Chains A and B, each alone.
Chain A
């Protein structure tokens, strides 16, 4: 009964989405407010029905209703409750349902909080959302219905893939989808603007918070996924340049570029056509990511099932939306008025440079990800493009970008003074040189590039601090005045500083981890001691445990440093009975930002156990950086100027913008 109700709710949501995608557009055409307002009510009703559908599937999982095929394939009655719930999206059908639920959530938010939007713009935006929603509802209902019943229900389910039975599944996919799908809003705004043939600074101001929300979630989602892979897969890697990871990195890069170009458009009414294109591209890359992951062209943790009809269907959706929006762009973009002139050396110029490097870097990732697929289709040759390719292309493109980051916020709009900015960045530059020198002296004979990269990271962080110091003129005016100014600074300025500093912090982590990572791989018997990076790791004993739905071999390690015991680590190997498969649970010990990492291998006949141990210096900074970036995004989002909404550009009091 619940399954049928969920299915029916989904069909109703499709019907509502179809209405939402047509009626409001006609209303906008005929200037009929009643028809335009249909968008609002259908978007909210659609959210309600998708929500019901999602709740129905969750209920089926919680109650372990094994008459539903999807539950049988991915659940087990002995599974802990948390994994019963997260298992809802730990499979293809359920994750697509999560996708459309989040799409409906964003549509509902625009409908509920978009009261200050012009009526016709809101109608058009929601109509475009309706198209996307309709396409994906059809996809779910026709190829991946999660509510299908089985004629002969089994007594027990087949359990969720053990690798996915982790708290990471509760956080990573929803975050990532909030990011992916969140970019649909800027896409819809872009398409609506093209349909209306009108775009101005106010448009950018409406779009920016939505882009920012999506970007914050995508940043956290990617970071969370990376940390999950790091501790779950058991060999200490945190980024593999796997096509699926690249699929999430590409929208992030394009979305970051979009955030910056939207600033230019909002403040200076320039780069309009480019911003529209970026908004379209960002969501197109999100769709591409969905296609790569969901179509089965790739094999990875994320590709739950391969079914050619699904791949073809998503490919059709992809072609329709990307092709359609780009055609509309070609047709209408020339009609948009060009505006805003600026010198190459200016804040706008710096932001253009940022966009140039980010999109180029995105393009290299795109080539590295899709070239093997294209080559296989054309010549049949199978190749793999791995980390070396990306290190050689992506890396060099990020160096000039990071060098330019501190200059951007310090340059004035329209016409900047490069020499003046360089002078103000002197302190950051000196700090960077000192850091380079210190690291170089400390690790003599080591890699030459690493100290330089650390210097670059320090320069980026120093630049972010300089920006704040300059704005509140700390050191040049009394401390109390500076503090008052600091409180009065727009939150978006603080946001910029935090986000930029986060990039530097992450870079320090990445460089330290990749350069000075030390490892020990060997076979240990109880009471054996392994030495690693000044730590002594002693294997105390090995025990067997019975978990809720698995058997576990637990190894206990005592960690000593300089004869003093500092902790205990218990890595384990779990054997899941339902799927006859095992997972490796690594154990981690954090020391400051560094971590000790132990994971177990197979047991030998003589009782020895294969062990992999790593000491990863500063590794936590890799994820702390993105958290800082996301925090900056949230600060920016709470900026008063975004909260009060966007007044009509012609009537805006100039005083509001003077703070930048």
Chain B
């Protein structure tokens, strides 16, 4: 084998692997990326039933209802629109009414957001960054909502 042939094999092999990787990435981008949305955005452009997305906003005061067997329902609002959310499982330590939350899941046919993951803020100052940005963009930001995000995500699965 000449030097040239060897080099060709090397370069060809590298490109083959890179091509496979690029294919994998593009394929995964199609299926497994989750968009972030607020209740207002979800009302204006409703996602198809079963399409996963992340919903962010504030848990509406007085909307939390605990059912049997760890089933909970609450409403997420961004000041403009409100979306009902159901979830089954243990809520994060600092899930509170009137405070920021991000839930991941999909809408069901009744227009209720079925969450399988709930992320909440972790101290009294912190609000998930996406929620804060979305509220700021819609001009509904109030001082005192935000602060230092000194915390982790708390998720419940």
Partner-B contacts on A (CB < 8 A): 161, 163, 233-235, 237, 299-301, 303-306, 341-344, 352-353, 356-357, 360-361, 363-364, 367-368, 371, 381-386, 388-389, 392-393, 396-397, 521-523, 573, 579-584, 601-602, 604, 610, 612
A-B pairs with beta carbons under 8 Å apart, 18 shown: A163-B122, A299-B128, A300-B153, A301-B151, A306-B148, A356-B13, A361-B21, A364-B25, A382-B36, A382-B54, A384-B36, A386-B34, A388-B32, A393-B21, A521-B90, A580-B124, A581-B123, A601-B70
A388 nearest in chain B by CB position: B32
CA distance A486 to B93 in the complex (A): 54
B152 near A584 with CB under 8 A, answer no
Total count of chain B residues near the partner, CB < 8 A: 50
CA distance A385 to B54 in the complex (A): 11
Please encode chain B, from 102 to 133, with 1 for each CB lying within 8 Å of some chain A CB and 0 for all others.
Answer: 00100000000000000000111000111001
A389 near B29 with CB under 8 A, answer yes
> Contact check: which of A360, A581, A584, A612 meets B17 at CB < 8 Å?
A360
Say yes or no: is B47 at the interface (Cβ < 8 Å to chain A): no
> Contact check: which of A304, A393, A582 meets B25 at CB < 8 Å?
A393
A303 nearest in chain B by CB position: B149
A299 near B129 with CB under 8 A, answer yes
Across-interface contacts of B90 in A (CB, < 8 A): 521, 601-602, 610, 612
Residues B6-20 near A (CB distance < 8 A): 6, 9-10, 13-14, 17-18, 20
**A163-B152, A385-B33 are contacts. A581–B94 as well, Cβ < 8 Å?**
yes
Across-interface contacts of B25 in A (CB, < 8 A): 364, 367-368, 393
CA distance A649 to B33 in the complex (A): 52
CA distance A396 to B27 in the complex (A): 12
CA distance A157 to B44 in the complex (A): 46
Say yes or no: is B89 at the interface (Cβ < 8 Å to chain A): yes
B32 near A523 with CB under 8 A, answer no
Say yes or no: is B69 at the interface (Cβ < 8 Å to chain A): yes
> Contact check: which of A303, A371, A579, A604 meets B123 at CB < 8 Å?
A579
B54 near A384 with CB under 8 A, answer yes
Across-interface contacts of A386 in B (CB, < 8 A): 32, 34
Known: A367-B25, A385-B34, A389-B32. 14 other contacts (CB 8 A): A163-B152, A235-B157, A343-B1, A361-B21, A364-B21, A386-B34, A389-B33, A392-B24, A396-B24, A580-B124, A581-B93, A601-B90, A602-B90, A612-B90
Most buried by A among B18, B66, B122: B122
CB distance from A284 to the nearest CB of B (A): 20
B3 near A385 with CB under 8 A, answer no
**A235-B156, A301-B152, A523-B69 are contacts. A392–B28 as well, Cβ < 8 Å?**
yes
A582 near B17 with CB under 8 A, answer no
A304 near B150 with CB under 8 A, answer yes
> Contact check: which of B91, B150, B153 meets A161 at CB < 8 Å?
B150
B127 nearest in chain A by CB position: A299
CA distance A213 to B123 in the complex (A): 38
B14 nearest in chain A by CB position: A356
CA distance A396 to B24 in the complex (A): 8
Across-interface contacts of A237 in B (CB, < 8 A): 155, 157
CA distance A579 to B124 in the complex (A): 8
Across-interface contacts of B89 in A (CB, < 8 A): 521, 612
Instruction: In the A-B complex, list the 4 residue pairs whose CB atoms are closest, starting with the nearest.
Output: A388-B32, A601-B90, A382-B36, A301-B152
CB distance from A72 to the nearest CB of B (A): 14
B36 near A343 with CB under 8 A, answer no
Across-interface contacts of A382 in B (CB, < 8 A): 35-36, 54, 130, 133-134
Across-interface contacts of A343 in B (CB, < 8 A): 1, 6
> Contact check: which of A344, A397, A523 meets B10 at CB < 8 Å?
A344
B88 nearest in chain A by CB position: A521
A344 near B32 with CB under 8 A, answer no
Q: Which applies to chain A's interface (DSSP): helix, strand, loop or mixed?
A: mixed
CB distance from B8 to the nearest CB of A (A): 10
CA distance A397 to B103 in the complex (A): 31
A384 near B34 with CB under 8 A, answer yes
CA distance A161 to B126 in the complex (A): 12
A389 near B152 with CB under 8 A, answer no
Across-interface contacts of B29 in A (CB, < 8 A): 371, 389
CB distance from B103 to the nearest CB of A (A): 12
B27 nearest in chain A by CB position: A392
CA distance A583 to B122 in the complex (A): 9
**A363-B21, A382-B35 are contacts. A393–B28 as well, Cβ < 8 Å?**
yes
CA distance A389 to B52 in the complex (A): 14
CA distance A341 to B2 in the complex (A): 10
CB distance from A104 to the nearest CB of B (A): 28
CB distance from A579 to the nearest CB of B (A): 6
A371 nearest in chain B by CB position: B29
A397 near B34 with CB under 8 A, answer no
A583 near B70 with CB under 8 A, answer no
B24 near A393 with CB under 8 A, answer yes
CA distance A386 to B124 in the complex (A): 27
**A343-B1, A601-B90 are contacts. A385–B32 as well, Cβ < 8 Å?**
yes
CA distance A203 to B103 in the complex (A): 52
B123 nearest in chain A by CB position: A581
Say yes or no: is B31 at the interface (Cβ < 8 Å to chain A): yes
Across-interface contacts of A579 in B (CB, < 8 A): 123
Say yes or no: is B154 at the interface (Cβ < 8 Å to chain A): yes
> Contact check: which of A342, A363, A602 meets B91 at CB < 8 Å?
A602
CB distance from B138 to the nearest CB of A (A): 13
Across-interface contacts of B54 in A (CB, < 8 A): 382, 384
A163 near B24 with CB under 8 A, answer no
A386 nearest in chain B by CB position: B34
CB distance from A381 to the nearest CB of B (A): 7
CB distance from A309 to the nearest CB of B (A): 15
B93 near A582 with CB under 8 A, answer yes
Across-interface contacts of B17 in A (CB, < 8 A): 356-357, 360, 397
**A383-B34, A383-B35, A602-B90 are contacts. A360–B70 as well, Cβ < 8 Å?**
no
Most buried by A among B93, B128, B134: B93
**A163-B152, A304-B150, A581-B123 are contacts. A341–B36 as well, Cβ < 8 Å?**
no
CA distance A363 to B19 in the complex (A): 12
CB distance from A433 to the nearest CB of B (A): 26
A360 nearest in chain B by CB position: B21
> Contact check: which of A342, A356, A523, A584 meets B93 at CB < 8 Å?
A584
CB distance from A317 to the nearest CB of B (A): 23
B24 near A300 with CB under 8 A, answer no
CA distance A354 to B6 in the complex (A): 17
Across-interface contacts of A163 in B (CB, < 8 A): 122, 151-152
Across-interface contacts of B36 in A (CB, < 8 A): 381-384
CA distance A371 to B33 in the complex (A): 11
CB distance from B73 to the nearest CB of A (A): 15
CB distance from A273 to the nearest CB of B (A): 13
CA distance A384 to B119 in the complex (A): 13
